[in-house]
Amino acid sequence: MTDDFRFTLRARDGGARLGEISTPRGAIRTPAFMPVGTAATVKAMYPGQVRELGADVVLGNVYHLMLRPGAERVAELGGLHKFMNWPHNILTDSGGFQVMSLAKLRKLDENGVTFQSHIDGSRHQLTPERSMEIQRLLGSDIQMQFDECVKLPCSHEEAERAMRLSLRWAERSRKAFGEQPGRACFGIVQGGAERDLRIESARALADMDFGGMAVGGLAVGEPQEVMLAMIETVMPHLPEHKPHYLMGVGTPDDLLQSVKRGIDMFDCVMPTRAGRHGLAYTRWGKLNLKNARHAEDPRPLDPTSSCPAARDYSRAYLHHLVRCQEILGMMLLTWVNLAYYQDLMAGAREAISAGRYDDYLAQVKDNWTRDGEPG
The catalytic residue positions are 93, 267
Candidates 15, 24, 54, 69: give the one binding its own copies (CB under 8 A).
69
**Could you report how far apart the first and last alpha carbons of the chain are, in Å?**
41
Quote the least distance from Cβ 66 to its own copies, whole Å: 13
> Which helix (H) or strand (E) segment is 212 a member of?
strand 212-215
Candidates 32, 44, 91, 333: give the one binding its own copies (CB under 8 A).
44
In terms of Cβ atoms closer than 10 Å to its own Cβ (0-12, 13-18, 19+), residue 116 is: middle
Of the candidate spans 14-22, 38-46, 234-242, 248-256, the one that interacts with its own copies by CB under 8 A turns out to be 38-46
List alpha helices for 56-153, DSSP H: 62-67, 71-76, 80-83, 96-102, 128-138
Q: Annotation-wise, does 109 bind a ligand?
A: no
Candidates 21, 36, 331, 345: give the one binding its own copies (CB under 8 A).
331
> Which 292-321 positions form the footprint of its own copies (CB under 8 A)?
295-296, 298, 312-314, 316-317, 319-321
How many residues are present in the chain?
375
Q: Annotation-wise, does 329 bind a ligand?
A: no
Candidates 2, 3, 4, 85: give the one binding its own copies (CB under 8 A).
85
Quote the least distance from Cβ 243 to its own copies, whole Å: 29
Smallest Cα–Cα separation from 184: which of 145, 149, 141, 217?
141
In terms of Cβ atoms closer than 10 Å to its own Cβ (0-12, 13-18, 19+), residue 3 is: exposed
In angstroms, the CA 226 to CA 3 distance is 39
Residue 333 or 352: which CB sits closer to its own copies?
333
Q: Annotation-wise, does 93 bind a ligand?
A: yes
Query: What are the counts of helices (DSSP H) followed by strands (DSSP E) for the chain?
Result: 15, 16
Whether the CB-CB separation of 353 and 298 falls below 8 Å is answered with: no
Residue 205 or 339: which CB sits closer to its own copies?
339
Q: Annotation-wise, does 94 bind a ligand?
A: yes
Candidates 6, 43, 124, 273: give the one binding its own copies (CB under 8 A).
43
List interacting residues with its own copies (CB under 8 A).
39-41, 43-46, 68-69, 73, 76-78, 83-85, 276, 295-296, 298, 312-314, 316-317, 319-321, 323-324, 326-328, 330-331
